[in-house]
């Protein structure tokens, strides 16, 4: 290779169109982008011979029957029963964070209730949610909302069951959370 060819090659490489600076990536707050995950919950291994497993299982089933899978105190159990707390889950949607997903679930539930019953519910506050797998996921959500079309627009506690399957939401139920008095009446 001769020097002349080398200079011609250098001239081509140093052409300003070839050496434009690389596009800079926009700076982002990586901490804000990362979803904060709670520490993984560890459970005791199921031992069918252990009376403690059966005691906790019976307590769990009684609590589920009483609360329709809503408002379960799942932290008190040493074994993993379904449903689990929403906060324990790692990822329920490949594109949405858990917060974004919960906002969409609540919006879908409130929109469906307003459309079906002519109410004007407005979301106030998320309380808790449980989730279980069932050809997709079933989310048992407890939330505060107020009905702006009501003569008493004070916030009330609601339970809603929303099923997510293949990116679609189906609101199975939306109801006022029973009071302790209501629960006592149905126990008879």
Looking at the predicted structure, is the pLDDT value of residue 18 above 70? Answer: no
DSSP assignment of 33-57 equals HSPPPPPPP--PPP-TT-HHHHHHH
Q: DSSP code of 23?
A: P
What is the number of other CB atoms lying within 10 angstroms of the CB of residue 126?
16
Reported confidence tier of residue 38, pLDDT bands at 50, 70, 90: low
Looking at the predicted structure, is the pLDDT value of residue 184 above 90? Answer: no
Write down the mean pLDDT value for the chain: 78
In whole angstroms, give the CA distance from residue 146 to residue 15: 66
Q: 96, exposed or middle or buried, with CB in 10 Å at 0-12, 13-18, 19+?
A: middle
Tens digits of per-residue pLDDT, 42-78? 777 888 888 888 898 898 889 888 888 888 888 888 8
Q: Write down the pLDDT at residue 119.
A: 92
Looking at domain 88-186, its CATH architecture is: Roll (3.10)
The phi, psi pair for 40, rounded to 5°, reads -65, 135
Q: Write down the pLDDT at residue 73.
A: 83
> Which of 51-81 are b and which e, b meaning 16 or more Cβ less than 10 Å from the residue's Cβ?
eebeebeeebeebbeebebbbbebeebeeeb
Give the max Cα distance, the chain.
Answer: 102
Residues belonging to the chain? 188
Looking at the predicted structure, is the pLDDT value of residue 2 above 60? Answer: no
Tens digits of per-residue pLDDT, 121-171? 999 999 999 998 888 899 999 999 999 998 888 999 999 999 999 889 999
Which residue, among 162, 185, 186, has the nearest Cα to 174 in the 3D structure? Answer: 162
The whole-model pTM stands at 0.71
Break the chain into its structural domains and give their ranges. Answer: 88-186
- Lowest-confidence region among 28-37, 83-92, 174-183: 28-37
The percent of residues above 70 in pLDDT, for the chain, comes to 73
In whole angstroms, give the CA distance from residue 93 to residue 171: 17
Helix (H) or strand (E) run with residue 62 in it: helix 51-67
Q: Write down the pLDDT at residue 171.
A: 95
């Amino acid at each position: 290779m001769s020097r002349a060819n080398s200079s011609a090659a250098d001239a081509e490489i140093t052409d300003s169109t070839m050496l434009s600076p690389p596009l800079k990536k926009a700076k982002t707050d990586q901490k804000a982008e990362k979803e904060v995950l709670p520490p993984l919950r560890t459970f005791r291994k199921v031992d069918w011979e252990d009376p403690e497993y059966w005691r906790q299982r019976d307590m769990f089933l009684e609590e589920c029957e009483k609360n329709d899978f809503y408002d379960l105190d799942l932290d008190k159990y040493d074994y993993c029963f379904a449903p689990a707390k929403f906060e324990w889950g790692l990822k329920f949607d490949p594109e949405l964070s858990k917060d974004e997903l919960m906002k969409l679930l609540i919006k879908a539930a409130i929109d469906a209730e307003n459309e079906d019953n002519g109410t004007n519910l407005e979301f106030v506050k998320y309380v808790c949610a449980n989730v279980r797998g069932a050809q997709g996921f079933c989310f048992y959500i407890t939330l505060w909302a107020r009905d702006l079309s009501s003569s008493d627009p004070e916030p009330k506690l609601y339970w809603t069951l929303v099923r997510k399957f293949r990116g679609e939401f189906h609101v199975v139920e939306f109801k006022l959370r029973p009071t302790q008095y209501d629960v006592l009446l149905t126990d008879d």
